[in-house]
Chains A and B, each alone.
Chain A
């Protein structure tokens, strides 16, 4: 931590939104500072104005959005009044930025080396050969394996983590005084995230760069921040040294955010029923893509020989990173996909053997809740209709189904009078409740939930998880819960299965798996959860 002169001082900065937005100002009188060799985290949920702040400092706002008072002092001048040409000289050279989604932040048609070299090309007089060698050393600085090949590669030829390393190399090309990182690890898997966080921390300490790190995750804050600024609705509600804010949060919103990322400790084990409601055995699903007349066909073993059992009334979590096959498994169980082999036994019926028509008749046994609260509801149907759809298909008279839908609204914590609205009039969390009500309308015995809270803000996540736990008790539901987030799994699951490359590498009681992980991959996953000590011990 450093007490030297601040590199950047933001002083009572306000940013005005165009008329017709949900509020007049995206940012209201925000003040903060970053010093040399200091990493400041700005934390907030969507709509807090944290990304807008980053774009304001870079002066990359859309034309309709303007600063409305305040100053941004950097290197002895106010960035608010800098000309476009002055800003161009500062961007990339003195202030650099890393974005959330490395795939779209890189030009798909140009090589990595070319795009990194461009920064050097426009800001320095280095020769082509010098630029090439600088690009090489930058790529090795960010620990990309085989920098020679990476420089010649196009973005789509690298993995997500490597792309973000390349973005960081590009940002650090000219040793900027200030690095702004806008949720740089949100789009990455947890193990990759851990590596990238470590890399940013290392580079920052080695180069004494000032870093403004934007995140929604207090785990990340605990992992890397020197100081924290908490934002809500465009206002700074709390700021201070990271340790102090984490251990002794003052503002209720900060407390709420911290409470939403509880430690990865399993809840007290509940007594599980001896009765098995769902038994999977040997589920296998293989994809064959591409290939013309059998040549060059690529075979992906999405799910390989998965056998699991779900006791009645229990919640079985299936955790894994992207590409682990967990979503494919969920879709095989509910028969949105047809498994190549294996059986899915419910009530003595093997769902894997049923025809499409037979499944249509048995949808009351098993229902699904989807990930994306925006894509999972037909935008042209009213909420009540969406919920009543299932029973109507299965022969319930329309008026009765609609009346029941309103009751379900109450059950999932929505105002029944909102039943006549269209999906776009609800917030993300409310939409997810509608999705839940739609699944529950058929009174299923088993609920398959595919990342049901991943698209939600952390505070909303907590509410939906509470609702799910509550409904499980009241309705005696048995749940298959797919998630990439071990903290979420720890909160709700009685049992977990860890998947990697289509295979279940470890499964058992949540407390056992997370408390005494046996498989190296499970250990790596737990190790990678940001926040380290904070996530495990801080709050006891």
Chain B
């Protein structure tokens, strides 16, 4: 209960942050050359000034910027993200449609990166400055330096074009109608390469942090106490070191949620996944500013949500947190 109220308070504290972001981006987009109506007119193949005026009045673009902002925020409170002129649908509907692939992609990439980062970090720390450590650290450094979109392209060349093991793109096979477990498997096979691609850099970061944090915890006094009790090394790791070493990892998930969501823009584009990231890219190219602002809102919400979950996790791992409040 105390954990929940603590995390809840953190959640409440992020509301001003959310407004700060929205107001900032809204004002920023005012500086953009052309507005939604310009984009629509361009798509319709031009039109006269009267139509443009009419449309601007319809979309509420004929009033001053502060009024527009107030209107926008007021609509947002009622969860109305406005209308996408390009897609001809409410922005909320467009985003909702694109959300599942992104959520799946992020979850699987994060699980992959976290699990292997943890395991490899522990192995590297156990054999510090010997060959397993050198090998793992080197591979980690190379993964860190690899541009994700390039890794994705090369993975397509190897696994889809030459070996033909995995599909090169898309969320599911649209040629065949599948149901139940077959559909799940199909989607899973489509997500393997994108998850690896997105998770790669985070795997490198997590393994480096895990290694460093293991080494740091191994040097703490209570590990010496554990040795003085007669514990063997395996028990020392599992019972005393691991949980303490996990704390910075958990913090990192929260801190990097935004980076990961940003990375999905590129990965979804490479693998033609109909997700939120790709939508962001498309709305920039098509100048669909309403949708872009909606994406900003939703992705900020997602990051705040991930942070809420990591707060809960952290508080469960570390009893000192709840005591401080």
> Interface on A for B, CB 8 Å cutoff?
58, 60, 88-93, 96-97, 99, 101, 104-110, 118-119, 122-123, 154, 156-157, 167, 170, 290, 292, 296
List residues 213-251 of chain B with CB under 8 A from any CB of chain A: 220-222, 224-232, 235, 239-240, 243-244
Q: A122 contacts B231, CB within 8 Å? A: yes
Q: Collect the chain B residues with CB atoms within 8 Å of residue A292's CB.
A: 9
- Give Cα A109 to B321, complex, Å: 11
Please measure, in the bound complex, the distance between the C-alpha atom of A90 and the C-alpha atom of B231, giving whole angstroms.
11
Question: In the complex the two chains form, is B227's CB within 8 Å of A91's CB?
Answer: yes
Judge whether B48 is part of the interface by a CB distance below 8 angstroms. no
A296 partner residues in chain B, CB cutoff 8 A:
325
CB neighbours of A99 from chain B (8 A):
221, 224-225, 228
Interface residues of B (CB under 8 A from A): 9, 220-222, 224-232, 235, 239-240, 243-244, 317-320, 323-325
Set of chain B residues within 8 Å of A109, measured between Cβ atoms:
243-244, 317-319
Beyond A108-B244, A154-B320, whether A60 also contacts B224 by CB under 8 A is: yes
**CA A292 – CA B13 in complex, angstroms?**
10
State whether B230 touches A123 (Cβ < 8 A).
yes
> Is B225's CB under 8 angstroms from A91's CB?
no
Q: Is the interface of A mostly helix, strand, loop or mixed?
A: mixed
- Are A92 and B228 CB-contacts (below 8 A) given A109-B317, A109-B319? yes
In the complex the two chains form, what is the Cα distance from A107 to B228 in whole Å?
13
CB within 8 Å for A108 and B320 given contacts A122-B235, A290-B325 = yes
Contact A106 B228, beta carbon cutoff 8 Å: no
Quick check: B230 and A92 within 8 Å, CB to CB?
Answer: yes
Set of chain A residues within 8 Å of B240, measured between Cβ atoms? 107, 110
B323–A97 CB distance below 8 A: no
Contact B228 A96, beta carbon cutoff 8 Å: yes
Helix, strand, loop or mixed for chain B's interface?
A: helix
Q: A99 vs B220: C-alpha distance in the bound complex, in angstroms?
A: 12
Question: What B residues does A107 contact at CB under 8 A?
Answer: 222, 225-226, 240, 244
Nearest CB on B from A204, distance (A): 18
What's the minimum C-beta distance from B321 to chain A, rounded to whole angstroms? 10
Bound Cα distance A91, B244 (Å): 23
* CA distance in complex: A104, B216 (Å): 13
Cβ-closest chain B residue relative to A116: B229
**How far, in whole Å, are A97 and B221 apart by their CA atoms in the complex?**
12
Cβ of B325 and Cβ of A106 under 8 Å apart?
no
Complex formed: what's the CA distance from A167 to B222 in Å?
A: 11
Residues of B within 8 A of A156 (CB): 319-320, 323
Asked whether B228 lies within 8 Å of A60 as measured between CB atoms, the reply is: yes
| Chain A residue at minimum C-beta to C-beta distance from B324 | A290
- Bound together, the chains give a CA A89 to CA B227 distance in angstroms of 11
Closest to B318 in A: A109
Contact partner, B221, options A89, A92, A101, A123, Cβ 8 Å: A101
Contact between A118 and B225, CB atoms less than 8 A apart: no
**Inside 8 A of B235's CB, which chain A residues have their CB?**
122
Contact of B231 among A97, A101, A104, A118 (CB under 8 A): A118
Task: Among B220, B227, B230, find the residue whose CB has the most chain A CB atoms closer than 10 A.
Answer: B230
